[in-house]
Structure 1
């Protein structure tokens, strides 16, 4: 199980600070997130960066076996 934490616009789209998912890859995990605004969440995923146990990636095929935490980081104002 992996804990996914959401920040800024991602938190607004999902409607909560974090969820726990059981998924093989980052993409699989993103598809399992129960978002309150599904259209916004779907569009936002392409623009986010992800911290997988502290390592930055944009590769949604990243395996999550043994991963404790994924931070979902949307673009922030100014960069």
Structure 2
């Protein structure tokens, strides 16, 4: 299956792109995706992912929730605001 990962703010800077399609085995979870992303992009993105929130198809995602083909995963690093 393939999922679309969209990176925002510091996550985009750490990954070096704003969006990518990631092939994963059937039944993969968000946790498996995170491991794959760290393997692809290294420690800089790993630090961001450790503090990030994730949306799966625009809804909060839990690390053990299975992904599906065509899923959209948004990576949202912590934002500062005022």
Compute the TM-score of the two structures, normalised by the length of structure 2: 0.80
Displacement of 1:67 after TM fit?
4.9
2:51 aligns to what SS in structure 1? coil
- Is the aligned partner of 1:45 residue 2:46? no
2:64 aligns to what SS in structure 1? coil
Taking the aligned partners of 1:21 and 1:29, their CA distance within structure 2 comes to 8
Structure 2: runs of 5 or more not aligned:
none
Structure 1: runs of 5 or more not aligned:
none
| Structure 1 runs (4+) greater than 3 angstroms displaced | none
Taking the aligned partners of 1:67 and 1:25, their CA distance within structure 2 comes to 13
Taking the aligned partners of 1:66 and 1:51, their CA distance within structure 2 comes to 15
Compute the TM-score of the two structures, normalised by the length of structure 1: 0.82
Q: Which residue of 1 aligns with 2:64?
A: 61
Number of aligned residues: 76
Q: Which residue of 2 aligns with 1:16?
A: 17
* CA-atom RMSD in angstroms: 1.7
The structure with the greater share of residues assigned to helix is: 2
